């Protein structure tokens, strides 16, 4: 949903934003896990337990964000399919023309080989 004062982002901009968020999440997870692995103190030490807890929380957060992003892409793709289906239902001859054009281009490309 786009808010009235929010600029409309293209699909590419939204994908780039999501990729940036995933990169940040992976970096956060990597940094925390490296810190846990680098600490070679006593397993009962308070610092080790704190680092382990932070690593577990970071891992859970990244998993949730990745799951959410995956669901988001699924629903976007589903929405595009429904829009295309509605368009073809409303304009069947446009669909035939588009299909014929795609077939012609593919045929020309394959004939070159």
Per-domain boundaries in the chain: 44-70
Taking the C-alpha atoms of residue 35 and residue 39, their distance in angstroms, rounded to an integer, is 6
Task: Say what the pLDDT of residue 32 is.
Answer: 75
Is-above-0.75 flag for pTM? Answer: no
Q: Is the dihedral of CA 28, 31, 36, 41 positive or negative?
A: negative
Task: Say what the pLDDT of residue 2 is.
Answer: 47
Question: CA triplet 46, 44, 30: central angle to 5 degrees?
Answer: 65
What would the mean pLDDT of 2-15 be, rounded to a whole number? Answer: 59
Other CB atoms within a 10 A radius of the CB of residue 31 amount to 12
Other CB atoms within a 10 A radius of the CB of residue 51 amount to 19
- 50-69 pLDDT, tens digit each: 877 887 788 778 778 877 88
Kindly report which listed range (33-42, 52-61, 101-110) carries the lowest average pLDDT score: 33-42
């Amino acid at each position: 949903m786009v808010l009235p004062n929010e600029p409309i982002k293209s699909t590419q901009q939204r994908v780039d934003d999501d990729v940036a968020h995933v990169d940040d999440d992976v970096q956060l997870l990597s940094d925390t896990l490296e810190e846990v692995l680098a600490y070679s103190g006593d397993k009962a030490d308070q610092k080790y337990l704190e680092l382990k807890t932070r690593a577990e929380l970071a891992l859970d957060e990244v998993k949730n964000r990745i799951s959410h992003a995956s669901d988001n892409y699924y629903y976007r793709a589903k929405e595009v399919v429904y829009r295309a289906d509605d368009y073809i239902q409303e304009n069947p001859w446009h669909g035939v023309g588009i299909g014929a054009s795609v077939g012609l281009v593919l045929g020309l490309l394959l004939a070159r080989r």
